[in-house]
Structures are given as C-alpha cells and as structure tokens.
Chain A
Amino acid sequence: MIEIDRVTKSYGDRRVVDSLSVTVGAGELCVLLGSSGCGKSTTLRMINRLIPTDAGSIRVGGEDVTRVPAEALRRRIGYAIQSIGLFPHWTVEDNIATVPRLLKWRLAQVRERVTELLELFRLDPETYRRKYPHQLSGGEQQRVGVARALAADPEVLLMDEPFAAVDPITRDALQVELAHIHRATGKTIVFVTHDIEEALRLATVIAIMDSGRIVQLGAPLDILEHPANDFVRDFVGHQGLGLKLLSVRRIGDRLRRGETTEGEPLSLDASLADALSAMTARRADRLPVCDAEGRRIGVIALADLVR
C-alpha cells in the first residue's frame, strides 16, 4: 500500500533520512520506532508531503505521491498528531467533518459519518457533537482527533505519537481502541512512537530506526527474539525482556484445549503477560480460557508460559 523507495532528506548538511526504503502492506500497522531525532517523524511527514523529499520516491496505493496535488493527496490520507490540533473555534462535529466537507460530501452523509465515528470512539453523539474542544478532556480530544483523521474513510492513516501527551490510563484505553479499530477497519496505518511498549502492543510490523535508516524490520516477536544488532538489543531492552516476550504472545498459542478448571476465564486474545498477571494475583497456576463468544474452551497453565 505504501512503498518508500530510497528516500533521502537533509537539513543543511545533516542527513535526517538516509536512503530509506520500506514497504507497508495493505492492512498492516507499521510502527516507526526510534529515539527522538532518528528521522521517524520526518519519514512520516514525507508520505503526505508535509515535507518534500530530496531524493527517492514514495508511492501510496501504487501512485507516486508527487503526481497528485498535495491537498488532494492529504485528503485521502488520515493524519493525527500528538498535539491533536483540533480547531478551537469549531464544534466536535465541525472538526470531524473537516475533510468530508472539503470533499463536498452531502450534508446528511456528513452528519451520518460523524455519528458513526463518535459511536466508534464511545462518545455519545448527541452530547458530544455540539461541544467545543476546550470542553473535552485530553483523552476525548485525542479520540476526536483520530476520528477526524478517519472521517473521509482514508485508505491510509498516519499517526505521529498520537498518545504521547495523555496520561497512562487514558493511553492504555486509546491503544486498545486503536487496536480494535485497526482490526475492524483493516486500514493501513503508519504509527510513529519512541515507546517500545506501545510499539509491541499495536504493531504488526516494527521498523526500528536510527540516524535516518531502518536498523531492523520485522514482527514484534521476531525483533524481541532475534535482535539484529546491539543497537536493537539495547533499544528493546534486556531488562524485562521476558515480560515483553510474554506481552506479544497470545494465550491462544499455548492453550490446552478441552481441559477445564474453576475461576473467571481469560480471553483467548489476551497476552501471556495478562495470564501471568492474573495467575500471580489469584495465586493459581491454572486458569480457564474462553473464546470470543464466552465459551470455556480450555486452560492455560503456568508451565506453558515458559515453554
């Protein structure tokens, strides 16, 4: 869906992005992960041409981004940023409707879309559509920000540390919502963050960046188990590596089907870290597991976590 091909960007004689190539498949959630100044934001902003490239090409949906007018391109690509940037003089409805109105959607269609998005983010449409941004909490503002990015149903969504400024509890909730929306809509998402936990939680693919290059590209588990070099090993951290591994593996992979035991069941989708946490808290070494419909289908045991 997004093909970045040997793209370079320099400011003065400082090369911020250095002949970087990466391809993001349709429906992937690709996290650009790295410390500040590694070129991840610049790379993201070159995709929707907020920053022009010095060399190389970028294609979205097979089409070179420089072939279409920048404004038309950006209306096809959702964009959410850390500072959100809601228009303070517009209501929530007007904010979300920005791009659909630019695209001259019919009035009724715009209204329907706003309702749909507010519901998707669990904000009651009738209460929230007429509110102004300053009447919302930080988490609500960020939800509206992401809803606004999704408004015109773009094929691609670019997110630049969207959850970095909210408190940890709200961030958790927003990450869960984003993961849910990603699964439900199948959008292609490029997500910039410096937070390894966030990356492991959300990504289908992680690109670890340093000095304008990609150091390692791979699935979260892959990167944890086989770091390409010392830089990656340092970045993902030796400390708590085991817990990180548990957090990217699902209970479903280690399930003992058909067995049963007492207690509140865990979800099949939950991570092994969640299972370990529940076992420690409940002082149990076996816990029941249920599927999405709530049927008890098996058991997860302490010994299975370290297999």
Chain B
Amino acid sequence: MTQIRNQVLFTLVIASVAAVVVAGFVGYAPNRLVSGKPIALWEAAGGPSTTGVALLGGMLLAMCFTSPGKTLHSAQGSLATVLLLLVLVAAGQAASTLALGAKPAVRISLGAAFWVLAACAALAVVDALQRLGAGPAARVLAVAAIGAGVVVLALAGTFDGLSIAREYASRRQLFGDAILRHIALVAGSVGPAIVIGFPLGMAAARRPRLQGPVFAILNMLQTIPSIALFGLLIVPLAALATAVPQLAALGVGGIGVAPAIVALVLYALLPVVRNTAAGLASVDAAVIEAGRGMGLTSRQIFLQVEFPLALPVLLAGLRIVIVQAIGLAVVAALIGAGGLGTFVFEGLGQYAVDLVLLGALPAIFLALAADFILQTLSAVLRQRLAS
C-alpha cells in the first residue's frame, strides 16, 4: 500500500469530497424567508466547473502520496489557490444559471458543500505555506493574490446572482455606512484603551504590587457578558446625559454609540494592560542595568531599549484587542450603535440567513485582515530581533 506523505492535505481532500457528495453546493429557495432546497455541485455549476474542481481535487489527492519537496509544496499552494477561486466562480455561475428565468423572489444561497470546499482549499494554501516555511513576505503575497482574485471576480459581477449579493444590492448605501461605522467603533474604542491601558500596564510592570488589584478588576470586567455590560451602562449614561445637557448634545446617552464605546474600551483594557506589563517585564534586567550604568536617562532607556524590545508582545496584545473589538462591536448594534451588527440582528429578526451573513461575513473578514496585518508586523519585528 502506498504511504500517505501529507496527512493534512489528505484529510482536507477527503472532507471536501464527502461534503460535495453529501451536501448541497447551493440552496434554492422560492423566496428569502424559507430555507433553500440543497442542489449538488454537478447539478448547480455545470460541466466545466465541476470537471475543473474534480481535476484539481484529484491532483491535490495525488500530491498526498508524492514525496515532499519545495516544488511539490509550491504546486500545492498554487493549485489550492486556483481551486479556491474556481469554487467561488462555480458558486457565482450556479447562482446566475439557476436564477435565469426564475421569479425575482427566488434566492440562491451558498450551501454546506461550498463552505467546506472553500475552507479546505484555503487551509490547503495555509498548509503549503507552512511546509514551505514561508516568511512574512511570501504570506503577504499569497493573501494579496487570493484577495485580488476575489475582488476581480466580484467587480466582474460573478457573484451577482447569489442571495447575499442580492441582499447587498438592496442595501448598498447602508452597507458602506455600516462598515465605516463598525471600523469607527473599533478605532474609537481601541485608541482610548491604549491611551488608558498603556500607562496602567507600565505602572503594573514597575510596581508588581499594583498587579493584584489592577488585574482583579480587569479580569472581573472581562467576565461580564457583553450584552449584560451594554445593558448595565444604559442607566448611568442616560443619567449622565440628563445631568449634563452638553454631553447629551454631543450624542452621549443610554443607548447608541456612547455606551458601546465605553463597553468596548472596558473589554479592551485587560489585553492592553496585561500585554504592556508582560512586554515590559520581559525585557532583560541586565540590559536596563547596563543602559543605566552607561548614562542613558530613564527616558532614553524607555524609548530606545524597553519599548522596542517589548514591541512584539505589545503588538500581540493589540492584535487580540482589535480582533476582540471587531467581534464585540457586532453585538453593540443591539443598543443602537450601528455597524455590521445591524444586518445580523435585522436578519435574525426576519429569519433571513443571507442578511445575517451580510453582516457576519464582513466582520469575520475585518477580523482576519486585522489579525493577518498585525501578525505579519510582529513577525517582521521578531525576525529583526531574532533573539
């Protein structure tokens, strides 16, 4: 029996095959409120795309049994990238074909087989990059290539038939506003969290006795469920707005952006403070002692030695905070803060899954993009320190 050389890839291929055979590639529903009838890949996407997917899948399967090498991993990465884009094209084609001649109310949604195929193809790309030992530059290149492919496909109207695109088309203006509002909520909370949390973290690093009470409070805040915290803030902020009319004029109130920002800042504090303290504490005491002994001022030691050496850990904290804030800001729509959560809760209320996805997918992509950018930054920094 032949030996499986790449078990990760093998698992991905098998999972994809199973999903394509068992589950629907797209769902067909007569209107947006009922759930769709699953339609298999070969029925939905037509001959050429199905053959293409099968061919690429077969080649990737063959690679599982080939002895590893740089060329093989590069080929795996390229094929998986093409497969990912082809799956997207197939979904778009399926939607346009099925929608052709049907009533305008008909909705073509993405099915389980699509999600599994796309996820497996993406993971196969990641696996290839990992096996190649790719550095930050190669990873950025791969992500840019896939991103550019998706953008080109979208601009060419490939996805226009899909229900999620139909939801988008009817909310184009709202969507743009929502995504900007979402980013503003994140930036508006992460900024203050850094301004408050960084000095607090520095103080905790300098005076270990502070760490007990500071972390006790921040940990407790972190355990409050987000909806509960939003709710808890309604009363005090409403009271504050009544007491100080100038604040009310600025938009502060029990609901809306103000309580959302306050809650997001409170949640962001723990990671910021913890990573600041940990980052500064990780700087070798001998290095600081030597700096002092040579006549660097405290300011010079901080700016030239402690801060740059702590930076990778600080960036890791920032990464956690931003990704967390992007997710929590979705929930903030409940108290009228706007953002992508608006679509999620509107969709939940109407039982319209595609509308939920219109809010959830961009939020996920924002989080992934932020995570990727900050991870790349800290990888570059670590490479330069390499100690």
Q: Are A81 and B290 in contact (CB under 8 A)?
A: yes
Give the Cβ gap from B138 to chain A, nearest Cβ, in Å: 23
Give the Cβ gap from B11 to chain A, nearest Cβ, in Å: 38
Q: Are A148 and B384 in contact (CB under 8 A)?
A: no
* Bound Cα distance A72, B297 (Å): 10
* Bound Cα distance A99, B291 (Å): 10
Q: Known interface pairs A81-B286, A88-B287. Does A74 touch B387 (Cβ–Cβ under 8 Å)?
A: no
Q: Known interface pairs A71-B297, A89-B384, A132-B386. Does A84 touch B292 (Cβ–Cβ under 8 Å)?
A: no
B305 CB contacts on chain A under 8 angstroms: 87
Interchain pairs with CB closer than 8 A, number: 70
* Bound Cα distance A99, B300 (Å): 12
Map CB proximity to B onto A70-109 as digits: 1 under 8 Å, 0 otherwise: 1111110001010111111100000000110010000000
**A48 at the B interface (CB under 8 A):** yes
Chain A residue total in the interface (Cβ 8 A): 27
**B327 at the A interface (CB under 8 A):** no
Q: Known interface pairs A88-B387, A134-B387. Does A74 touch B295 (Cβ–Cβ under 8 Å)?
A: yes
B-side interface size class: 20 to 34
Chain B residue at minimal CB-CB distance from A148: B294
Q: Known interface pairs A71-B295, A102-B294, A102-B296. Does A83 touch B286 (Cβ–Cβ under 8 Å)?
A: yes
Give the Cβ gap from A34 to chain B, nearest Cβ, in Å: 21
* Bound Cα distance A7, B262 (Å): 55
* Bound Cα distance A81, B292 (Å): 12
- Candidates A83, A84, A89, A132; contact of B308 at CB < 8 Å: A89
B296 CB contacts on chain A under 8 angstroms: 71, 98, 102
Chain A residue at minimal CB-CB distance from B381: A89
* Bound Cα distance A48, B384 (Å): 33
A84 CB contacts on chain B under 8 angstroms: 286, 290
**A212 at the B interface (CB under 8 A):** no
Q: Known interface pairs A88-B387, A89-B308, A89-B309. Does A99 touch B295 (Cβ–Cβ under 8 Å)?
A: yes
Chain B residue at minimal CB-CB distance from A72: B295
Using a CB-CB cutoff of 8 Å, which residues 344-360 of chain B contact chain A? Answer: none
Map CB proximity to A onto B277-316 as digits: 1 under 8 Å, 0 otherwise: 0000000101111111111110010001100110000000
B295 CB contacts on chain A under 8 angstroms: 70-75, 99, 102
Give the Cβ gap from A45 to chain B, nearest Cβ, in Å: 8
**A298 at the B interface (CB under 8 A):** no
Q: Are B290 and A86 in contact (CB under 8 A)?
A: yes
Q: What is B's interface to A at a CB cutoff of 8 Å?
A: 284, 286-297, 300, 304-305, 308-309, 384-387
Q: What is A's interface to B at a CB cutoff of 8 Å?
A: 48, 50, 70-75, 79, 81, 83-89, 98-99, 102, 132-134, 145, 148-149, 158
Besides A102-B295, A158-B293, 10 more A-B contacts (Cβ < 8 Å) are: A50-B289, A70-B295, A73-B295, A75-B294, A79-B290, A79-B294, A85-B286, A85-B288, A86-B287, A132-B386
